[in-house]
Chains A and B, each alone.
Chain A
């Protein structure tokens, strides 16, 4: 008599169940981590010195990268858009169009992705190596809450500094755009800026600023989570840094998509 074949072989079924278990465990870990961070953010004895130190690391030390990228973003966008606008005889719209594109979408997303690479990986690697070398354990046994000392200042600093970096990238992007406009044409700095700002409204500006705080929080949280929960071996430092970049970049795009949908409804 032939035995009935099971729909899913036992090995495959147990594989799926263990994968699901891992996913649910990871979700539970993330929620626990998040609740810990929120709780410690509002608890007594805020680590202000560490927060300032992280603001310096995240904000000031990212300025060269954001400066170069900001100028190039504006320059390239202008050079690419100009021929199309010239063919429609709408070259006067160039400053306004570039400024709106930069402020609403391009500068926030590109700056956030750069920060995910630079800051997210840095946090993942730093906290990961602290975990591997037992520094986080040492902090814990000396009655210091590592979440409060290491994670909260980093997440808050990223949440505050990344929007500022985005505003800085906006400004430099417009300067870069003016440079681009002058390669093929001739327009004064004052005229270019007045034409650009004439097109910008608060509804271009406010949603972009609001979403940039979420970008900062996501990058800080993912970087710290991946570093803080890194494994014990040295390879886990690399894994933590890498996954911090990948996950925070993906989340930046997802948050942006949600923000665009919400802005569209307003």
Chain B
């Protein structure tokens, strides 16, 4: 009997320790104690395509005003993760809460309202080929900021194009722009509707180092000027170094490490070192 009692006691002790661990923020996570509100909370996210499990168990928070970089090799599920956040893909399990709303439970109209607060910079830029730069920027403005007059729309377009340094491209077609210019115009199109959260999908992929640095600088400027919280999906360490307050590394579809830049830089872990060498 005494042995059984001891065993139960040890069991409960272990369970309490496990629960305490679960509520503690991971190393580098500012956590609720920092007084910052959670912009995005992801818990137990799973996604599978056929037999391939892309996200096995992803949980983390993004706090207000924070730039969070998510690192990982190609195919580690980074892009799938942010597509689940805006429900371009439906996860198989887990919950995603964005600005207090459970994304999975939203109906189409409510989801549309939530998406108006989220800016998404696509890897390819995703500019509308058949529209000029002006029309590309007007497109979301007309649908999201319906009460603006044409003068106010023009002013807003000028403001964001000045911000990305490309006002002279106003009447150009996307096919007349270089890769870096397309990314910047795409960023302008995203911020023109004043999003609260920014999701960047590989913002510097395929760009030369100089243009990559410019984009990284723009990401920081966007945060300062528009007070956004951002998730930056990247495998470009220079971009992560330049923009991130906190980093998460995905490996085999799960969060492998979470922490600040210093922790990642000083890590002796082989998987992390392979990124930060």
Contacts and interface: CB of A to CB of B under 8 A. Distances in A.
Given A133-B129, A135-B129, A143 B122 contact: no
Interface string B127-140: 11100000000011
B230 to A, nearest CB: 15
A68 B128 CA distance: 33
B123 A134 contact: yes
A144 interface: yes
A133 B140 CA distance: 18
Contacts of A138: 120, 122, 126, 128
Given A143-B112, A144-B143, A133 B124 contact: yes
B185 interface: no
Nearest to A144: B143
Contacts of B140: 142-144
Interface string A135-160: 10111111111000000000000000
A82 B241 CA distance: 82
Contacts of B139: 142, 144
Nearest to B143: A144
Sort chain B's interface into a size bin.
20 to 34
A143 B128 CA distance: 15
B143 A141 contact: no
Interface in B218-240: none
Nearest to B186: A138
Contacts of A145: 108, 112
Given A133-B129, A135-B128, A135-B129, A141 B123 contact: no
B124 A141 contact: no
A135 B123 CA distance: 11
A143 B143 contact: yes
Nearest to B117: A143
Nearest to A45: B143
A259 to B, nearest CB: 35
A138 B174 CA distance: 15
Contacts of B116: 142-143
Contacts of A142: 115-116, 120, 139-140, 143-144, 193
A218 B186 CA distance: 35
Contacts of A137: 83, 88, 122, 126
Given A142-B139, A142-B144, A133 B112 contact: no
Contacts of B127: 135
A134 B113 CA distance: 21
Contacts of B40: none
Given A141-B86, A142-B139, A133 B113 contact: no
A203 B150 CA distance: 52
Give the one of A129, A134, A140 with max B CB within 10 A. A134
Contacts of B108: 145
A139 B193 CA distance: 13
Contacts of A134: 122-124, 126
Contacts of A141: 86, 88, 115, 118, 120
A101 to B, nearest CB: 40
B231 to A, nearest CB: 14
A141 B118 CA distance: 8
A154 to B, nearest CB: 13
A238 to B, nearest CB: 17
Contact of A143 (B88, B115, B123, B124): B115
A55 to B, nearest CB: 16
Interface string B21-51: 0000000000000000000000000000000
A68 B209 CA distance: 54
Contacts of A143: 112-113, 115-116, 140, 143-144
B49 to A, nearest CB: 11
Interface string A119-142: 000000000011001110111111
* Top 9 A-B pairs, shortest CB-CB distance: A138-B126, A134-B126, A142-B140, A143-B112, A141-B120, A134-B122, A143-B115, A143-B116, A141-B86
16 contacts: A133-B124, A133-B126, A134-B122, A137-B122, A137-B126, A138-B120, A138-B122, A140-B88, A141-B88, A141-B118, A142-B139, A142-B140, A143-B113, A143-B115, A143-B116, A144-B143
Given A135-B127, A142-B120, 6 more contacts: A129-B129, A130-B128, A133-B126, A134-B124, A141-B115, A142-B143
